[in-house]
């Protein structure tokens, strides 16, 4: 798309009704590469470039929370060399981008059990979280070794621990108190969930939180996902009638 066309699209967005929380299932890297006769890792490398661009585009239009699904609890099923490449790319991404992220007042958060990730990743992720912890701009929430079922089971275990300690009673458990046990505590539910690559499924993403999230799907692969696609998703979102079960 030409620059003017992108701007024209951007101008169609109602800036007073920007979705507060956007989730993205970044999918299609492998197929993007395969289509070009390249190894899957080439797709991941190209996908990382889109992360940089989309983070920038989102924070510029005042999205408050951006949740990116980077590695699922099921992605461990992949060949070890692909997992290693993904981990390496993650470290490289943080290393390269963290100064700019920090300068843009973005706060980095992670959802998922990062203790299971390689030491180099844990170190780099913790450095990013620590450096940006007092930032007040957009929250960049990255799903790493994240799975919605795992998150819910972990919450249940923690609630039982707190019950044993007398910190919580069954009658205290409700939607709001349950959310305090999720990785996303202190974050609103996603308003908009974007999934490129043509798959029409959640793949274990934020199962509890997406109860009333608006979905936006596209056939394009993540390495082809540009700012204009983000704008288009938001424009389409703004046309939806969110009833939350009401009339
Ligand atoms: C998304 O792209 C990246 C991760 C899941 C880490 P894929 O690697 O799933 O690409 P496809 O879906 O096989 O094309
Ligand atoms: C979802 O994509 C996980 C991430 C984008 C990190 P997958 O490629 O793993 O999902 P499936 O296997 O197609 O459902
Ligand atoms: Mg995939």
pLDDT, tens digit, 9 for 90 and up, residues 152-193: 999 999 999 999 999 999 999 999 999 999 999 999 999 999
Whether residue 201 has its Cβ less than 6 Å from ligand 2: yes
Q: What is the pLDDT of residues 70-120, one digit of tens each?
A: 999 999 999 999 999 999 999 999 999 999 999 999 999 999 999 999 999
Q: Would you tell me which CATH number, out of the four given (3.20.20.120, 3.40.50.1440, 3.40.1180.10, 3.30.1130.10), belongs to the domain 20-147+189-236?
A: 3.40.1180.10
- Integer Cα distance of 60 and 39 in angstroms: 33
Q: Return the number of other C-beta atoms located less than 10 Å from residue 184's C-beta.
A: 22
Residue 189 known to be catalytic = no
Domain residue limits, the chain: 20-147+189-236
Task: Give the tens place of pLDDT for each residue, 47-63.
Answer: 999 999 999 999 999 99
CB-based contact 87:120 (threshold 8 Å): yes
Name the closest-CA residue to atom 3, ligand 1.
Answer: 27
Burial class (CB in 10 A: 0-12, 13-18, 19+), 163: middle
CA-based torsion, 110, 111, 113, 117: positive or negative: negative
Catalytic choice (14, 16, 27, 174): 27
Question: How much is the pLDDT for 124?
Answer: 97
Task: Look up the pTM and report it.
Answer: 0.98
């Amino acid at each position: 798309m030409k620059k003017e066309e992108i701007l024209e699209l951007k101008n169609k967005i109602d800036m007073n009704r920007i979705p507060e929380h956007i989730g993205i299932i970044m999918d299609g890297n492998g197929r993007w590469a395969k289509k070009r006769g390249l190894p899957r890792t080439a797709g991941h490398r190209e996908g990382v470039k889109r992360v940089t661009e989309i983070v920038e585009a989102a924070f510029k239009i005042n999205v408050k929370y951006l949740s990116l699904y980077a590695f699922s609890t099921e992605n461990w099923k992949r060949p070890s060399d692909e997992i290693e490449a993904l981990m390496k790319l993650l470290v490289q991404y943080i290393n390269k981008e963290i100064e700019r992220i920090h300068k843009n007042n973005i706060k980095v958060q992670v959802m998922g059990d990062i203790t299971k990730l390689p030491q180099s990743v844990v170190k780099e992720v913790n450095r990013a979280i620590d450096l940006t912890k007092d930032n007040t701009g957009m929250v960049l929430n990255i799903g790493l070794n994240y799975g919605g079922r795992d998150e819910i089971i972990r919450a249940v275990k923690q609630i039982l621990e707190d019950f044993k300690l007398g910190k919580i009673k069954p009658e205290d458990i409700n939607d709001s108190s349950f959310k305090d046990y999720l990785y996303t505590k202190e974050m609103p539910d996603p308003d908009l969930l974007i999934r490129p690559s043509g798959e029409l499924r959640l793949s274990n993403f934020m199962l509890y939180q997406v109860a009333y999230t608006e979905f936006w799907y596209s056939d394009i692969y993540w390495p082809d996902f540009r700012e204009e696609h983000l704008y288009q998703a938001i424009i389409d979102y703004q046309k939806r009638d969110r009833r939350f079960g009401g009339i």
